[in-house]
Amino acid sequence: MVRLPYTTALTTLFSYGLLFAFGQLRDLFRKLLDWFRSKDLKGYAPICLGLEDFYVRRLYLRIQDCFGRPIASAPDAWIDVVERYSNDNNKTLHRTSNSTKCLNLGSYNYLGFAAADEYCTPRVIESLKKYSPSTCSVRVDGGTTQLHAELEELVARFVGKPAAVLFGMGYVTNSAIIPCLIGKGGLLISDSLNHNSIVNGARGSGATVRVFQHNSPSHLEEVLREQIAEGQPRTHRPWKKIIVIVEGIYSMEGELCKLPEIIAVCKKYKAYTYLDEAHSIGAIGKSGRGVCELLGVDPADVDIMMGTFTKSFGSCGGYIAASKEIIQYLKYTCPAHLYATSMSPPAVQQVISAIKVILGEDGSNRGAQKLARIRENSNFFRSELQKMGFEVLGDNDSPVMPIMLYNPAKIPAFSRECLRQNVAVVTVAFPATPLLLARARICISAAHTREDMIKGLEVISKVGDLVGIKYFPTEPPKLAKEAHKKRESSIVAERFCGCDIIGV
């Protein structure tokens, strides 16, 4: 939950207003100049009409160099960021062959499996030579190898469910599974800050979708009661089924989901639960089993658990873990299982090796070390940032920490200054976040050493002073703790119209 001071809100609105005005002015001049130049569309309607891509053309292109920076190395703790230059004021960017080594605070590399690993990489290379980079077939038609069968069993055991099924991409997992489980006549209740893949899956299913306030079990209960009492829209027939979709860690907030309360509410009203653990599997919990382990929830209480292998396991793909009947049904009818190329075998081997390391089955205790290190690192980094006076979101133990920037001009300033001092950070603005709540997002990894983090903190502190984002000035430690408690207990989320993009 973000507390937005009034002065900051006003100045941010003013900046956006100014940018909008200048953009319109430029559009006017462009229209006047183009009057004389003929358009060669010949009767076809243009791809983007009028204001549809106004934001892209006039706001985003100015700061395009802060996004999509190419790298020339593995996404490890230190990366080589390729330098780019532009001849036409950032409209097009060209690569050079130079690169600078920077500290990587942006990649999702929670357990440090991104670069070559001493246990995983030899096995991956072996499987490459044995099975080839791809099977060229769908899972049901000769795309299932022994590796896939092994990984499905291993994932089911790791997560604590009877069975699991794999898919080659995390995004497709959500978009193709939700339509299989629910259709017209069903109700989907999703958190207001859910990821785009869940929104797409919900739209593609044809079911009615309702949204409840972010992470608020009481509002979820209200919505459930109202919907069950009313029934389907217009006909008022009772709903066929209700599924509640939540995420383990919300990637833009860094918050954990209030899982025990939400599960209690769902059980009371007989709704099914779907938990998307894209960021939390492998990264939190004592043995890395995700948000269920951390919050003490029995995996049998969650009906369907989904996760991805991109973040903590350094590979690609996604999985669904549920009861045997559900998995058998999904294997029979899910389009992503019947029509999509199966997951690449070396990627499967990488996940198998990574899970074995985490569970300690490779014969060493590297997994336990990595898990302890990421927890220490996240807590250390977060507390230091808060001590310096930044506004940091997220709960303890979560490796994702957004730092609020608010003002649109601070986004490129923060990003470019940090890069100049060899720290690579990620800044996020509209439309991934609400219009006024732009932020810089830090992802901590187990591969970061103490020295790396101290260097990162120094640079961020210097740049923070320069840019002016230390919204909570430094206080002595005891007072800071009380202020922190007060902040947590006052929940004020300011939303302005026009920024509810993630809502359905």
Site for another protein in 76-105 (CB under 8 A): 76, 79, 81-82, 95, 104
For residues 47 and 479, which CB has a smaller minimum distance to another protein in the complex? 47
Taking the complex as a whole, the smallest distance from the CB of residue 36 to another protein amounts, in Å, to 21
Taking the complex as a whole, the smallest distance from the CB of residue 500 to another protein amounts, in Å, to 17
For residues 68 and 477, which CB has a smaller minimum distance to another protein in the complex? 68
- Mark the segment that binds another protein (CB under 8 A) among 3-11, 156-164, 174-182, 492-500: 174-182
- Mark the segment that binds another protein (CB under 8 A) among 121-129, 207-215, 369-377, 404-412: 121-129
Confirm or reject binding of residue 137 to another protein (CB under 8 A).
Answer: yes
* CA separation for the pair 92, 44 (Å, rounded): 26
Binding residue (CB under 8 A) for another protein from 9, 115, 295, 388: 115
Beta-carbon contacts of residue 374 (< 8 Å; ≥ 6 apart): 110, 111, 283, 399, 444, 445, 446
Radius of gyration of the chain (CA): 24
- Mark the segment that binds another protein (CB under 8 A) among 146-154, 289-297, 456-464, 479-487: 146-154
Q: Which residue has the tokens 């956006």?
A: 16
Binding residue (CB under 8 A) for another protein from 28, 140, 300, 483: 140
Taking the complex as a whole, the smallest distance from the CB of residue 247 to another protein amounts, in Å, to 13
Confirm or reject binding of residue 499 to another protein (CB under 8 A).
Answer: no
Give the phi and the psi of residue 9 in degrees, each rounded to 5.
-60, -45
Binding residue (CB under 8 A) for another protein from 75, 160, 299, 503: 75
Q: Which of residues 422-451 bind another protein (CB under 8 A)?
A: 424, 426
Binding residue (CB under 8 A) for another protein from 4, 271, 321, 437: 271
For residues 4 and 439, which CB has a smaller minimum distance to another protein in the complex? 439
DSSP track, 293-356 = HHHT--GGGSSEEEEESSSSSSS--EEEEE-HHHHHHHHHH-HHHHHSBPPPHHHHHHHHHHHH
Binding residue (CB under 8 A) for another protein from 32, 33, 45, 497: 45
Give the phi and the psi of residue 55 in degrees, each rounded to 5.
-60, -45
For residues 140 and 483, which CB has a smaller minimum distance to another protein in the complex? 140
Strand partners, 104: 424
- Mark the segment that binds another protein (CB under 8 A) among 301-309, 378-386, 465-473, 480-488: 301-309
Taking the complex as a whole, the smallest distance from the CB of residue 241 to another protein amounts, in Å, to 4
Confirm or reject binding of residue 48 to another protein (CB under 8 A).
Answer: yes
3-state secondary structure at position 11? helix
Q: How far is CA 496 from the centre of its chain?
A: 22
Binding residue (CB under 8 A) for another protein from 153, 325, 361, 482: 325
* CA separation for the pair 96, 406 (Å, rounded): 32
Taking the complex as a whole, the smallest distance from the CB of residue 503 to another protein amounts, in Å, to 15
Handedness of CA 412, 414, 415, 419 (dihedral sign): positive
Confirm or reject binding of residue 44 to another protein (CB under 8 A).
Answer: yes
Q: Which of residues 357-386 bind another protein (CB under 8 A)?
A: none
Confirm or reject binding of residue 59 to another protein (CB under 8 A).
Answer: no
- Mark the segment that binds another protein (CB under 8 A) among 74-82, 405-413, 475-483, 485-493: 74-82
For residues 329 and 380, which CB has a smaller minimum distance to another protein in the complex? 329
- Nearest Cα to 433, choosing from 496, 361, 378? 496
The number of beta carbons lying within 10 Å of the beta carbon of residue 122 is: 12
The number of beta carbons lying within 10 Å of the beta carbon of residue 334 is: 23
Q: Which two tokens stand for residue 463?
A: 């740049």
The sheet carrying 163-167 orders its strands as: 163-167, 318-322, 304-308, 272-276, 242-247, 187-191, 208-212
The number of beta carbons lying within 10 Å of the beta carbon of residue 37 is: 7
Taking the complex as a whole, the smallest distance from the CB of residue 215 to another protein amounts, in Å, to 21
Taking the complex as a whole, the smallest distance from the CB of residue 364 to another protein amounts, in Å, to 19
Q: Which residue has the tokens 């003929």?
A: 38
Q: Considering CB under 8 A, how many residues would be counted as binding another protein?
A: 121
Taking the complex as a whole, the smallest distance from the CB of residue 69 to another protein amounts, in Å, to 6
* CA separation for the pair 385, 454 (Å, rounded): 11
Q: Which of residues 239-258 bind another protein (CB under 8 A)?
A: 239-243
- Nearest Cα to 467, choosing from 399, 409, 401? 409
Q: Which residue has the tokens 């489980």?
A: 181
Helix (H) or strand (E) holding 416: helix 410-420
Taking the complex as a whole, the smallest distance from the CB of residue 5 to another protein amounts, in Å, to 28
Confirm or reject binding of residue 130 to another protein (CB under 8 A).
Answer: yes
3-state secondary structure at position 33? helix
Confirm or reject binding of residue 181 to another protein (CB under 8 A).
Answer: yes
- Mark the segment that binds another protein (CB under 8 A) among 23-31, 233-241, 286-294, 487-495: 233-241
Binding residue (CB under 8 A) for another protein from 69, 214, 439, 448: 69
- Mark the segment that binds another protein (CB under 8 A) among 193-201, 374-382, 394-402, 478-486: 193-201
The number of beta carbons lying within 10 Å of the beta carbon of residue 455 is: 16
